[in-house]
């Protein structure tokens, strides 16, 4: 009751603020209304003989991680996908054009109840972890089993959940299918028992592009043409900085320009709405002697990119394909205390990976890649430049690193089957 009252007061204050801010930024108003389930239509009953499964991922990473699981479930179930963030919603619609995609509700009891009346799932799968008390309570009352799949919980998140004591009521979750033993132990501690915890692996690996030999050649060639990239002798060294955060864009461009002035630099901010700010910052920074281009503007004008100028990718859902044209990749969120971003996507495509010291959110992944020699960890921006220079000068090293990463991730495949087996045994799904 206390939680319901407090969360209701929060929403009563925040909703008008979002709506007012929406006059200047309509996206905020649209998101606030969709979180309130405004515009969410009642889904028709699932076809006879098929039950409905809600697969929920918070944002882009979780949605992309769910691909192999969603496709496997569709063989026997009607699948509905939900996301919380705008980018998650957009990527979900791109990846699953034939599947209903809905916004996950704000966790206030009346809003959650309305969501359940309209979606009516028979099972709920939470990708990695997204546990909200009102939502879990509604699932239990309506008899819909809830499972965490490909579960992961960092040490920082674990400590944060412990502060809330009985909330968010992990006892209401029927199964925790964790990625590894460390995550499983944390889930067991939060749930108060290890009986509902299994280690099934990381389903994200099964859905990675290029895990079986690289992205499609035709698509790569078209992408290279759009980016103005030559092939063969004399082609520039291509570096993609993926999922960057402020001020990493300037640090990356300055470091790369210092050691590789002729390199082709492609910057993909973690939040595309920052693209204009990033462009202005790079134009005025030390690394911005040439004004960067933005991919969306080039496409709108039907122009090819200028390889001599940094390119800012301000579109959604193309990062994994962009990794396929790179000679080396820098992983954003790692030069600052953010915790890093997904480094498995480029490694699966045979591209050497470089990242900074702050990778707390991906410790297992970094340990695996470093153990086989597929990744380089650097201390700061200066060391980043040195690492990129070393990779550019040694094609044989790049090939060794790329193949090592691809082989290591190929060996990790199989989590989807293990997860489906666990769901079948524990909650009667699949």
Which tens digits make up the pLDDT trace of 222-237? 888 888 887 767 789 9
Q: Can the peptide bond before residue 168 be classed as cis, meaning omega within 30 degrees of 0?
A: yes
State whether 245 and 298 are in the same domain.
Answer: yes
Would you give the end-to-end CA distance of the chain in angstroms?
A: 35
Whether residue 347 contacts residue 358, with contact meaning beta carbons closer than 8 Å, is answered with no
Q: In the prediction, which pLDDT does 212 show? A: 47
Q: In the prediction, which pLDDT does 210 show? A: 66
Residue 18 lies in a domain: no
Residue 15 lies in a domain: no
State whether 322 and 405 are in the same domain.
Answer: yes
Q: What is the pLDDT of residues 73-82, one digit of tens each?
A: 999 999 999 9
CATH at 264 = 3.40.50.2000
State whether 279 and 347 are in the same domain.
Answer: yes
Q: 23-37, 142-156, 286-300: which range is least confident on average?
A: 286-300
What is the chain's percent helix, strand, coil content, to nearest 5? 50, 15, 35
Residue 246 lies in a domain: yes
Percent of the chain at pLDDT > 90 equals: 80
- Cα separation, 332 vs 84, in Å, equals 22
The answer on pLDDT for 321 being more than 70 is yes
Whether residue 296 contacts residue 302, with contact meaning beta carbons closer than 8 Å, is answered with no
Q: 51-55, 167-171, 253-257, 416-420: which range is least confident on average?
A: 167-171
Q: What is the pLDDT of residues 178-218, one digit of tens each?
A: 999 999 999 999 998 999 999 999 999 998 976 444 445 67
State whether 186 and 291 are in the same domain.
Answer: no
Neighbours of 378 (CB within 10 A): 20
Residue 4 lies in a domain: no
State whether 285 and 358 are in the same domain.
Answer: yes
Better-scored residue on pLDDT, 357 or 169: 357
CATH at 418 = 3.40.50.11720
| Structure-token match 């691809």, residue found | 406
DSSP 137: H
State whether 189 and 286 are in the same domain.
Answer: no
Residue 68 lies in a domain: yes
Residue 117 lies in a domain: yes
Q: What is the pLDDT of residues 332-362, one digit of tens each?
A: 999 999 999 999 999 999 999 999 999 999 9
Q: 37-46, 217-226, 373-382: which range is least confident on average?
A: 217-226
State whether 162 and 106 are in the same domain.
Answer: yes
Closest by CA position to 240, among listed 263, 213, 216: 263
- Cα separation, 196 vs 172, in Å, equals 11
Q: In the prediction, which pLDDT does 163 show? A: 86
State whether 202 and 227 are in the same domain.
Answer: no
Residue 399 lies in a domain: yes
Q: In the prediction, which pLDDT does 139 show? A: 97
In the chain, the number of structural domains is 2
Q: Sheet containing 353-355: give its strands across.
A: 293-294, 311-312, 264-269, 238-244, 328-331, 353-355, 375-377
User: What crossing angle do the helices spanning 395-411 and 381-393 adopt, rounded to 10°?
Assistant: 100
Q: In the prediction, which pLDDT does 425 show? A: 96
- The mean per-residue pLDDT over the stretch 34-52 comes to 92
State whether 379 and 236 are in the same domain.
Answer: yes
Bridge-based pairing state of the strands 197-199 and 238-244? unpaired
Residue 48 lies in a domain: yes
State whether 168 and 255 are in the same domain.
Answer: no
State whether 407 and 421 are in the same domain.
Answer: no
Q: In the prediction, which pLDDT does 288 show? A: 45
State whether 49 and 165 are in the same domain.
Answer: yes
| Per-residue pLDDT band at 220 (split at 50, 70, 90) | confident
Instruction: Compute the mean pLDDT over every residue in the chain, rounded to the nearest whole number.
Output: 92
- Cα separation, 408 vs 396, in Å, equals 18
Residue 143 tokens, joined: 């008899």
Which residue segment(s) compose the domain that 138 sits in?
Answer: 26-208+413-427
> What's the residue count for the chain?
430
The answer on pLDDT for 260 being more than 80 is yes
């Amino acid at each position: 009751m206390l939680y319901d009252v407090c969360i209701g007061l929060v929403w009563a204050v925040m909703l008008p603020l979002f709506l007012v801010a929406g006059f200047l930024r309509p996206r905020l108003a649209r998101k606030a209304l969709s979180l309130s389930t405004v515009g969410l239509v009642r889904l028709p009953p699932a076809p006879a003989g098929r039950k409905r499964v809600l697969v929920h991922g918070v944002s882009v990473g979780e949605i992309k991680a769910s691909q192999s699981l969603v496709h496997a479930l569709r063989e026997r179930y009607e699948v509905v996908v939900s996301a919380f963030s705008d980018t998650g919603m957009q990527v979900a619609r791109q990846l699953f054009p034939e599947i209903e995609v809905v916004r996950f509700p704000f966790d206030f009891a009346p809003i959650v109840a309305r969501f359940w009346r309209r979606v009516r799932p028979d099972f709920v799968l939470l990708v990695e972890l997204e546990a909200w008390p009102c939502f879990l309570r509604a699932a239990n009352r309506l008899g819909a089993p809830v499972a965490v799949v490909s579960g992961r919980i960092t040490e920082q998140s674990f400590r944060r959940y412990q502060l809330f004591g009985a909330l968010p009521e992990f006892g209401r979750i029927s199964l925790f299918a964790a990625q590894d033993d460390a995550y499983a132990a944390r889930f067991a501690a939060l749930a108060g028992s290890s009986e509902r915890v299994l280690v099934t692996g990381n389903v994200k690996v099964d859905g990675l592009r290029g895990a079986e030999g690289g992205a499609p050649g035709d698509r790569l060639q078209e992408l290279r043409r759009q980016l103005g990239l030559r092939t063969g002798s004399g082609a520039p060294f291509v570096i993609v900085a993926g999922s960057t955060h402020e001020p990493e864009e300037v640090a990356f461009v300055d470091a790369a320009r210092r050691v590789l002035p002729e390199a082709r630099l492609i910057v993909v901010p973690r939040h595309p709405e920052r693209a204009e700010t990033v462009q202005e910052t790079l134009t005025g920074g030390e690394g911005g002697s040439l004004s960067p281009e933005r991919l969306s503007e080039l496409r709108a004008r039907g122009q090819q990119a200028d390889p001599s100028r940094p390119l800012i990718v301000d579109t959604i859902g193309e990062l994994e394909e962009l990794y396929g044209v790179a000679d080396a990749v820098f992983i954003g969120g790692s030069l600052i205390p953010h915790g890093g971003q997904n480094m498995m996507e480029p490694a699966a495509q045979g591209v050497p990976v470089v990242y900074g010291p702050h990778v707390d959110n991906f410790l297992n992944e970094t340990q695996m890649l470093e153990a086989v020699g597929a990744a380089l960890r650097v201390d700061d921006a200066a060391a980043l430049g040195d690492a990129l220079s070393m990779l550019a000068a040694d094609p044989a090293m790049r090939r060794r690193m790329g193949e090592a990463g691809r082989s290591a991730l190929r060996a990790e495949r199989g989590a989807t089957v293990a997860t489906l087996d666990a769901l079948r045994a524990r909650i009667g799904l699949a």
